[in-house]
A and B are shown apart, each in its own frame.
Chain A
Amino acid sequence: MKNSKIAHEPLFHITKRPPMSKLSAFSVRIGAFFAALILSALFVLITIGIDPWTFIKTMIKGAFGVPGAEKADSFSAFWSIFSKDSYFWITLKTACKLLLIAVALAPAFKMRFWNIGAEGQLLAGGMGAAFLMFNYGTLPVYILLPLMLIVSIVCGAVWAVIPAVFKAKFNTNETLFTLMMNYIAMKIVDYFYNLWRGPMSALGMINPSTNAGWLRSIWSGKEAAWFRNEDLIFMFIIILITVLMYLYLRFTKQGYEIAVVGDSQNTAKYAGISVNKVMLRTMAISGAICGLCGFLCVSSQSHTITSTLGNGYGFTAIIVAWLSKFNTFVMVGVSILIVALENGSMLMANTYGDLGFSPASAKIIVGVMLLLIIGCEFFINYKLAFRSRAAKKEEVTE
């Protein structure tokens, strides 16, 4: 190579791959997961000197274990993971909440409507439920609970339809609009929180003595000791919605319309589908499910309202929805994975806080994991073609 003006063949270039088989795509993702695990283990080893084995054990325990239990191999210990304060149970519950929000986002995202406002829609729903709980706690159970359910769903739907109306009428940017609606919802919740707590330092649970508006009030009296049932209903409803959403998107006319609008609005118009109508309807559904999630969180989980009711899962759910390509069944696994990572690393922070492993370090681990898991999608779609050996040899001989 005498011509110095023109550089050598590049070391590698990026080319698009043909669609990978499901199995090899799966193994790439598993590989990315283990790479992330190794990286996190190294991070822990370097920062606080905890060996990788202890790190992994703690992570697993924090995600799926039982507090305090050192031996998890005996039979009774196995059953104890189903006790209400086992980490396993908490992970399951929290994952369900994340799952429901992701499921709520699925139709909107499939329609290419970037609903970033799940957090606000959930709060709107939760606020509706809490309002009835606080002011109408004397209503009979069979009126109060259905009313709370309906009001929550309506509140969530309205909160989601507002940006959709503006998008339909004025073509506003839905990403910014739904995002801003989150903060409005948060401040409304803060307002009522402060109003209701009055001179107290915190609101605490609403109706702690009567349990009015609590999901467990359905089965009053002695069975109420089975308070885990409240969790079971919570999870059951969420699984049900997940299955229904899958069927809705896949087999119904409305689901078909959503897919067409999401792919190309021009095609939708060409087919005579009213894009605006589909957009409003789909956002109403998306918001309604978020509102339902707000109801479930208030009525069966926290029994009160704060602006952190959503726990930021309105945003995390976006990652879940994308990672699972809007397939509601894949969302189940992704939700569990993310919550397990969070809970596992939180136990790390709780256990080794004195060594300097702070909650922030826990978030670094979750971040590293997510980055690698999301990043591996690149290698599923593209490959790096390195400069071939033969070409190198030739250069040497030249």
Chain B
Amino acid sequence: MAPERTPVIQLKGITKRFGSSVIANDDITMDIYEGEILALLGENGSGKTTLLNMLSGIYYPDSGEIYVRGEHVSIRSPHDAYLLGIGMIHQHFKLVNVFTAAENIILGIDEGAVIDLKTAKKRILEICSEYGFEIDPDQKIYDMSVSQKQTLEIVKALYRGADVLILDEPTAVLTPQETEKLFNVIRNMRNAGKTIVIITHKLQEVLEISDRVAILRKGRYIDSVPTCDATELSLTEMMVGQKVELNIDRPEPKNCELRLSVRGLSCKNAENIEVLKDITFDAYSGEILGIAGISGCGQKELLESIAGLQKPEPGAEIVYISPEGKNESLIGKTPKKIRAMGVSLSFVPEDRIGMGLVGSMGMVDNMLLKTYNRGSTPLTDKKPSKRLAEQIREDLAVVTPSIGTPVRMLSGGNVQKVLVGRELSSSPTVLMTAYAVRGLDINTSYVIYRLLNEQKEKGVAVVFVGEDLDVLLALSDRILVLCGGRVSGILDARTATKEQVGYLMTNIPEEQEAQDEKQ
């Protein structure tokens, strides 16, 4: 369908700065046409979310003008945006947990003192059937899955009469099957004349869903192209601004020795709910073991149990087999003790600043984190970490004003380089990474893949928890799939398909179910 050429929203010279040094949006001029699905594509930090936050009233532009249906407007708050028919679905949902779906939808709508839930519910169901949503108006939020909450946010925006919908990275939290469902309703909405803007950095999705792609790079508007004229490679080049190689290497594993053996690992979280159940697997040196699963399926607890940060339930076995052939149990050991035992285990956690690094400290002090206790004096020795910081800055091209600048001030990619650099500097024999490329730009992601492959070739047992199935299938040697805290399958990544993995992410195979019951 060819988009009608009437711009519903026009942005003229929009500039937004955060402080004097950061220009999030630099003089952006672009149009959004009625009845189209526009994908706003750009790497992390290219200013996509900032730009659309100005449309939805979260931010206010420093300069520039916004026209909605030809009229110069000034959007000062989400309420103004709502009056203009602009609704935004944020990455982090803004819902009241103890309310029902219907209550959340009418929350904050000024329709007099008496709440008429009955009519509201009727209208909600009308909207649902019109576009193909599945929603139970009486369901409480805390009973909902992530994808249901997202659906609810969209219905909420439609209920309020939005005809321009902005979705900020809507597929980041969805399984392939849920994504497909979402795309169907997006198409339905477009066919009903709504305008949809999707923020994303996933190229396949852009090609699948959008009518037109607008590309931002480093805060600037680069160009927009009809999706039918675009390819994955052409879009990447516009996004990155240079030619890139989109292939991930996968060297054949060599000299595989058993390095880590996990048997019957179960684990409860702080609320005493079992988050890991009877996990059994082996990790070998010289291979990359990918771990797939919907986020929050026990990936975090699995890695943390091995790293000595979670207390497994009794009966579990985590054995580290050193290259010399010595067996060491890691159960009940703190990270400090594991280090003292001579086990070189590196861990790149999901929460980089909140767990892997100290945000208020510079690179030098962060290098000290695992080695500060060395030496017999009560004083810290910063000379080696200074050298290490300089070296990592140079080797991995970390962009920072100085090695003393708090790492919190660095961009996500540079933060990850600092963390990975430190973890690799201890020449690990086991390397665990959780969502190592989340939020990173394409170039940095490939730097990380290259580093992981280097480690693999050095004979390190690499455990790679990932979310992008394409990457998992391209990088790993074997893939362990988690579903609800259990292992639903271990596949050979060279032969497995995306659909197979996607299926295992949401289903435990029956023969395994039966096996569990027997035990």
Of all chain A residues, the one with the shortest Cβ separation from B74 is: A9
**A264 neighbours in B (Cβ, 8 Å):** 353-355, 358-359
Is B73 interfacial (CB-CB < 8 Å)?
Answer: yes
B361 touches A269 (CB 8 A): no
| Contact segment of A44-52, A254-262, A291-299 | A254-262
> How far does the alpha carbon of A251 sit from the alpha carbon of B307 in the complex, in Å?
28
| Contact segment of B40-48, B139-147, B206-214, B365-373 | B365-373
> How far does the alpha carbon of A260 sit from the alpha carbon of B361 in the complex, in Å?
9
Q: Name the interface residues of A190-236: CB closer than 8 Å to any CB of B.
A: none
Is A16 interfacial (CB-CB < 8 Å)?
Answer: yes
Is A27 interfacial (CB-CB < 8 Å)?
Answer: no
Is A5 interfacial (CB-CB < 8 Å)?
Answer: yes
**A274 neighbours in B (Cβ, 8 Å):** 334
Of A5, A15, A17, A256, which one neighbours B380 at CB under 8 angstroms? A256
B76 touches A15 (CB 8 A): no
A266 touches B370 (CB 8 A): no
| Contact segment of B18-26, B104-112, B287-295, B491-499 | B18-26
> How far does the alpha carbon of A6 sit from the alpha carbon of B81 in the complex, in Å?
9
Given contacts A1-B72, A269-B309, A271-B369, contact A259 B336 (CB under 8 A): no
Is A85 interfacial (CB-CB < 8 Å)?
Answer: no
Is A71 interfacial (CB-CB < 8 Å)?
Answer: no
B335 touches A272 (CB 8 A): yes
A18 touches B335 (CB 8 A): no
Given contacts A259-B358, A272-B335, A388-B63, contact A6 B369 (CB under 8 A): no
**A260 neighbours in B (Cβ, 8 Å):** 358, 361, 369
**A388 neighbours in B (Cβ, 8 Å):** 63
Q: Name the interface residues of A1-21: CB closer than 8 Å to any CB of B.
A: 1-3, 5-10, 13, 15-18
**B84 neighbours in A (Cβ, 8 Å):** 6
Q: How far is the CB of B370 from chain A (nearest CB, A)?
A: 6
> How far does the alpha carbon of A337 sit from the alpha carbon of B302 in the complex, in Å?
54
Given contacts A253-B373, A253-B378, A272-B335, contact A5 B83 (CB under 8 A): yes
Is B435 interfacial (CB-CB < 8 Å)?
Answer: no
**B74 neighbours in A (Cβ, 8 Å):** 6-9
**B351 neighbours in A (Cβ, 8 Å):** 266
Of all chain A residues, the one with the shortest Cβ separation from B353 is: A264
> How far does the alpha carbon of A3 sit from the alpha carbon of B347 in the complex, in Å?
56
Is A252 interfacial (CB-CB < 8 Å)?
Answer: yes
Is B485 interfacial (CB-CB < 8 Å)?
Answer: no
Tell me how many residues of B have a C-beta within 8 Å of chain A.
Answer: 48
> How far does the alpha carbon of A187 sit from the alpha carbon of B200 in the complex, in Å?
63
A3 touches B380 (CB 8 A): no
Q: How far is the CB of A69 from chain B (nearest CB, A)?
A: 48
**A3 neighbours in B (Cβ, 8 Å):** 71, 73
Given contacts A5-B83, A7-B80, contact A253 B379 (CB under 8 A): yes
Of all chain A residues, the one with the shortest Cβ separation from B22 is: A18
Of A15, A18, A270, which one neighbours B356 at CB under 8 angstroms? A270
> How far does the alpha carbon of A27 sit from the alpha carbon of B309 in the complex, in Å?
47
Is B232 interfacial (CB-CB < 8 Å)?
Answer: no
Is A377 interfacial (CB-CB < 8 Å)?
Answer: no
Question: What is the total of A-B residue contacts with beta carbons within 8 Å?
Answer: 101
Tell me how many residues of A have a C-beta within 8 Å of chain B.
Answer: 35
Q: Name the interface residues of B99-119: CB closer than 8 Å to any CB of A.
A: none
Given contacts A3-B71, A272-B370, contact A10 B76 (CB under 8 A): yes
Of all chain A residues, the one with the shortest Cβ separation from B338 is: A272
Q: How far is the CB of A197 from chain B (nearest CB, A)?
A: 46
A263 touches B339 (CB 8 A): no
Q: How far is the CB of B312 from chain A (nearest CB, A)?
A: 16
Of all chain B residues, the one with the shortest Cβ separation from A261 is: B358
**B75 neighbours in A (Cβ, 8 Å):** 6
Is A77 interfacial (CB-CB < 8 Å)?
Answer: no
Given contacts A6-B80, A266-B351, A272-B336, contact A256 B19 (CB under 8 A): no
A6 touches B63 (CB 8 A): no
**B370 neighbours in A (Cβ, 8 Å):** 271-272
Given contacts A16-B18, A267-B369, contact A252 B380 (CB under 8 A): yes
Is A385 interfacial (CB-CB < 8 Å)?
Answer: yes
Of A252, A269, A385, which one neighbours B379 at CB under 8 angstroms? A252
**B361 neighbours in A (Cβ, 8 Å):** 259-260, 263
**B328 neighbours in A (Cβ, 8 Å):** none
B19 touches A18 (CB 8 A): yes
**B308 neighbours in A (Cβ, 8 Å):** 272
**A271 neighbours in B (Cβ, 8 Å):** 335-336, 369-370, 372
**A17 neighbours in B (Cβ, 8 Å):** 19-20
B368 touches A6 (CB 8 A): no
A253 touches B354 (CB 8 A): no
A7 touches B76 (CB 8 A): yes
Is B60 interfacial (CB-CB < 8 Å)?
Answer: yes
Given contacts A6-B74, A6-B75, A252-B380, contact A272 B359 (CB under 8 A): no
> How far does the alpha carbon of A394 sit from the alpha carbon of B356 in the complex, in Å?
51
Q: 8 smallest A-B Cβ distances: which pairs?
A: A272-B336, A18-B19, A272-B335, A266-B355, A263-B358, A271-B369, A9-B74, A6-B73
Interface residues of B (CB under 8 A from A): 17-22, 60, 62-63, 71-76, 80, 83-84, 307-309, 334-339, 347, 349, 351, 353-361, 365, 368-370, 372-373, 378-380
12 chain-A/chain-B pairs, Cβ below 8 angstroms: A6-B75, A6-B80, A7-B74, A9-B74, A13-B60, A15-B19, A18-B21, A260-B358, A264-B359, A266-B354, A271-B372, A272-B336
Interface residues of A (CB under 8 A from B): 1-3, 5-10, 13, 15-18, 251-257, 259-260, 263-264, 266-267, 269-274, 385, 388
